[in-house]
Structure formats: structure tokens, C-alpha cells
Chain A
Amino acid sequence: MNYITYDGDSITDTLKFDVINQEDRSIVKSSGIPVSPSIDFIEPPEGFGFQQGIDVVTGDTIDYVLKQTVQKRRITLTLHWEGQDAFARYKDFADWLALYFDLEQYRLRLSYQLDSMGERRYVEVSVVDLSLKGRELLDVEAVIILQPLTPFYEEGVSVFTVAQTSTGKKYNYTYPYVYGGGSVEGVDYIMNRYLKQIPLRIVLKGPMSNPSVAIREDEDGSSAYGEIRMAEGYSLASNETLIFDAFNNRITKTTTLSGGTVVSEDAFDDVDKSHQSFLYAKPGRSRFSAPVEDSEAYCKIYYVRYVLS
């Protein structure tokens, strides 16, 4: 006899916390494993999906949309720990949150996956409320409210431009930066499928004279809609990098000393003030270019593939 199975797909089993290092967007790890708190069970979340804000002028027949915005909704999770030591494990969870509480340094990230083959979706959050509800038999319950700091996204992607020494020809390739599932596209472009412009984190590694990076729409004859240049005469040595980080609004020059020590300094004042300081990619496909001439030099652009929910 065949039975109808009512077990459908579920996201609660796939809910997961991890932490991003805000400085370089890498996943924080301990002993090589991404840090994550211990939770026995999470009830179906509230606040997933998206909310759209539209400013509308009402007409007699049709309404006119003036502005369209995607609003972030707070996410509420009910967490459970079971066992004689459930309170102690709740305390471990709270301590874990406190460890990565500094938003200047870390970003707490919540993710879920619709099925084992599907893309994992991430959202960076800040904890705005954690309340302990108490014990019922072996179960200890707490409710956590999270304020999203980003839209949901599927992956972070890095795009490289490097030069081949013999021909001077540039090779560009794309690969998923932090997580699996990204496509290798082999071209020097950025694909922004989100409604709005997205921030870019650009790393230029020397040696490079007059470092610059420009971004333009992927159409013949289009001119750059964004360009960063350093001041006239500025150059990067082979042990130096410049980072233009639109996620953090910082421009950093790093120098790797002979012993391996990395020294960072603010390079904002050296940016050519007649150009931009940070770049954002418009919706759609954009190409970028940088004066990468040396085999050691590269231009790396990190961005995030945002989705609606």
C-alpha cells in the first residue's frame, strides 16, 4: 500500500548562525571550523520574506509609483535547548553572542537552505533583543529578535583581473569567495541582479603606477559611471595593497613587511578628490578595468549577490 507522505521541505533544520569578520569579509573560524553556537531546536522563524515600500500618488484611474524601496523586517526566532544542563547551554549561547557583539569588528549571520541542493541564503543581522522564557520540563526556551543589516544574499563573489607576463594580456575570472555554489564565468564583469546598486570592496595589489579602477555598464561605447583614482604620481610597491571598501567606508593601504607583519594605514587623503572614493555596481551587468600590468599585481573586486528574501 502506498501512503501519502506529508513531510515537506523545511528550513528550520537548516537555520544556522555564523560570523563574518567585518574587516576583510572572511568567515570567523576556530580551529579551522566556522564558529557557530549550539542550539537544539529552532521554531519556524518570523520575519523572513520581504516588505516593499512604495510611495504612490493616487490617480483617478491608475496610481503612479514615485519610489520603490525594499524594507528590512526584523526576524524573530524561538530557540530551544534540552536537557538537565539546558540553562547552562543557554548561557553559553548568550556568551557566544557577546563574544561577537562588536558590530565594528564582526557581523553575525543567519542562513537557511530550502533543500540540500538549494543555495544557502544569508542575512547579516544585529541582535536587538534576547529574552529567556524559562524551563518547561527539560526544555529551556529563549526568543531572539534580529535586525537585518543587509538584504538576504546567496553568496559573496570575488572577481579578479591579473596580467600575464609574457603577453601583457589580462586574464579575468570570477569565483565564489566564501561559500560554494558560485559560477565561474571567466570574464571581467559584475552581475548585479538586485533592485538597487550594490557596494563593492576593491583590492588593488602592487606593483602598480597610478592605481585606479573604473566601472561601466556592459554596453558598447558606454563611459565609466564610477571611477577611483589615486593622486597623480601615487604608486604601489609589490608588497602594498589598496582596499576601497564601500561596505565599511574605508580606504586602507596595507604594507607587508619582510617579516610578514602587515601594517595598515588610512589612505583616504591620497585618493584623487576629483573622482570617487568608493564604487557601487548598478543593477545589471557592469564591466570593470584597472591598470594591471605586472604579473604580481591584481585587481580583486568582492561583492555580494543579494536576493529579495
Chain B
Amino acid sequence: MSYLCLYNKNFQALGQWNQHRVSKFSLKRKAQELDEFTATCQEWADSKDACFVGLHDDVGKLSYLCLAGIPSTKDHLTDFIGTDLRAIFDQEVKIDYSARTSSGSYSINSASSLFKYLMVDLIDSIAGLYIGFDYEVNVDEVTQGYVDWDDSCVYEAAFVGNVLKEIQRLCRFYNLFVSVEISVNRNTNRYALTFRLKRIINVRPIRLADFQVTMRRDANVINMAIAMAGSRRSVLYLHNDDTVDSTFSASKQLFPVKCKTFEVEVDDSTTEAEAFEKALSDAQSALLKNRYRDRCQIDLRNQPSAYTVSDMDFTFFGDLSGYNPADSSTVKRLPVSEIDYDDNGKKTIVFGYLSEYWFLDED
């Protein structure tokens, strides 16, 4: 049995007798996409000023928190369709990775400074967006030494883009994800929000034959990209081990080959080098987006081996043996992308970044 509680933007619980029993809920937690949360509870008389909705377990522990949206009430039951807290980064703003310090060096020169720019500086001070509630961003896990800086992931020219999509793109580049952590401020006894960048660093071997598995693969994606600007040209490949580089390897080739060309015009305001860098970045982004285009879904209900995977979170890759039934000698490495559960005790874990709504994806 769970209950819902509404909070205002300062995490003050709203209403009198504010613990509302949940009749049903469904939560899909996702590593790279936004979570999906729906719940139905006892009628909520007053949801004015509601900012957050918290799902509490039977002893009162907060098990999930998201933005409340506007609840709807019918037949004495209130429905919530929550919005993932990471949606605050879903903003179209001008992004410029080329800022320099007074000494002339680039301000963004590490993975941590890159994500701090996107998640703190850009939202808060540069774009001047007022999100409406306090939060912290923690990039400690991606400092130099843990995540090696690769400047090919950014390009110099400024552009108007979506911050969330940039974060998602760069997370895939570095094998990271943004985790939302809820702590309690001891001084105020209020919840506090932290967006923490975490690395996908754990690996666990999994024998697919032990589980009831639903598999979906999307082979019809761009796996070769040509970057062009002026006289410059480069080809990038997405390999069958989900790596991206400019070296062709016949043993790693994906079939069928699907190529897309990214050409940036050279004009008075853009040098050939800048244009090529932009084209290269676009090409790389297109291929990175198509890494792990698999969806391997394991239903953990009624599975005797469920305990072997039930503790896995988004920091894990699964080394899936039996992924290709014709090849028992190799494993497929896929990250945990989704963990679903509901009020009926259903729990599923999904490996690979192929969306549930993959057929709606733009190429």
C-alpha cells in the first residue's frame, strides 16, 4: 500500500490530512528519456500551489518524486500524470561551448565543466530562466580522472538548441546518466533536490535463457555518417559493439549499411575548419544516438532467477549471453535503460536504449 502527498515548491506538504491512499500507480523510470508516472488516489480536495507529488511507501518513505502537473478528479478519485524533474532542462536556449577565460583558454575543458555549463550556468545565469524551485547539480563523478575529456563532443559555433537533448547526447557520448536524488535538509526538515551525473560503470553477466525476455531490435538506423565542409570530408562508423569511430572494421560492420551525409556550408562568418567541426559533431551525434538500439525487456515477476538482476540500476551494463541464439560464444553489452514497476508488484527491467515508442523516433 502506498500513498501520495502533494508539496508546494518549498516542499511543504499541502492540505489537511495530506496522505492520500493510492488505488493504482505505474512508474517507468528511464535512464536517458524522461520517466513516466501515473497514479490514482483518494480524492484531493485542494491541490492549489501543488508543485511536486511524492509517492510514499507504506511506512512513509518517499519512493518517488516528480512534478505534479494539474491533477484531475472524477468520481471521488484523483488522477496524476507526473512529469520527470529532469524536464526542467527541456529548454530551447542559445548554447555556446566556445567561451574562453581571461587567459584565452576554453572555459569548457572537462566533462564536469561541460555539464556544469549546461545544467547550472546555462539555465541559471546565462539564459536567466527562473525554474521556480531550488536544486543542486553534482558533477563530482565526472571529474577528470574518472571521465576523460574528449573535445570532439562539442563544437565551437554557438547555436540555439535544446538543453535536455544536449545533456542526453553527451550522456550517451560519455556513458553517463542524470540521476535525481532526494535528500532531507536537516535544518528545515524539507526535501532537497540534487541532479547527480553518474557513470555507467558496473557490468553484470546475464543468461537470457533464465528469463522471460521480450526482444526488439532496430537495425534500420544510420550506422555510417559522412561529415563534409568545403574540401574536408570524413566518414564515421557505428560498429556492432556500439562504438563509434572513423576506422572501418569489417568484422564489426552492421548490416544493412545506412548512410547519412552532414554538410555544413562555409560562408563569410564560418571558416572551413569551424564548418567541418560542426558537420563532424552532427555526424557523430547521429551515430551516438543510435548506439544500443536494442530493447531487451525482462519481466521479473514469477522468475526464480529474478534476484540476480533485481538490484540492478542505471549504473549497470548487462553482458547478455544468448542475445544472438546462433552465437553462444559472444555476449551483447547493453546498459540498463528502464526499470518499471506498479502497485501490483509488477517489475520489469529493460536493457538497451531503443525506446518503447521507437517507431515514432525521427532518424
Contact = CB atoms under 8 A, between A and B. Distances in A.
Instruction: Judge: A and B partners, yes or no.
Output: yes
Interface of A: 55, 57, 64, 66-67, 226, 231-232, 246, 249-251, 265-266, 268-274, 276-280
Interface in B3-61: 3, 5, 12-13, 16-19, 21, 56, 58-61
A280 B302 contact: no
Interface size class of B (residues with CB under 8 A): 20 to 34
A274 B184 contact: yes
B149 interface: no
Contacts of B190: 273
The 7 closest A-B pairs by CB, nearest first: A277-B60, A231-B189, A276-B59, A274-B184, A269-B13, A273-B184, A249-B19
Residues of B contacting A: mostly: loop
Contact of B304 (A66, A226, A278): A66
B59 A278 contact: yes
Contacts of B12: 269
Given A57-B302, A280-B58, A272 B184 contact: yes
B58 A278 contact: yes
Contact of A277 (B56, B186, B187, B302): B56
Given A277-B56, A280-B59, A64 B304 contact: yes
A198 B184 CA distance: 28
B59 A273 contact: no
Interface of B: 1, 3, 5, 12-13, 16-19, 21, 56, 58-62, 183-184, 186-187, 189-191, 301-304, 345
Contacts of B59: 226, 246, 276-280
Contact of A268 (B18, B58, B301): B18
Given A249-B21, A250-B19, A268-B13, A273 B62 contact: yes
20 contacts: A55-B301, A57-B302, A57-B304, A232-B186, A232-B189, A246-B58, A249-B19, A249-B21, A250-B17, A250-B19, A265-B16, A268-B18, A268-B19, A271-B60, A272-B189, A273-B189, A276-B59, A277-B19, A277-B60, A278-B59
Contacts, number: 61
Nearest to A277: B60
A270 B189 contact: yes
Contacts of B13: 268-269
A150 B55 CA distance: 24
Contacts of B17: 250, 266
A34 to B, nearest CB: 28
B59 to A, nearest CB: 4
A276 B17 CA distance: 17
A116 B62 CA distance: 48
A246 B58 CA distance: 8
B12 to A, nearest CB: 6
A265 B16 CA distance: 8
B5 A268 contact: yes
Give the one of B12, B13, B191 with max A CB within 10 A. Answer: B13
A265 B189 CA distance: 19
A246 B18 CA distance: 14
B15 to A, nearest CB: 8
A268 B17 CA distance: 8
A265 B191 CA distance: 22
B60 A278 contact: yes
Given A265-B16, A266-B18, 16 more contacts: A57-B302, A66-B303, A231-B189, A232-B186, A246-B58, A246-B59, A249-B1, A268-B5, A268-B13, A268-B18, A269-B13, A270-B189, A272-B189, A273-B62, A273-B191, A276-B59
Nearest to B62: A273
A276 B60 CA distance: 5
Nearest to A197: B58
A250 to B, nearest CB: 6
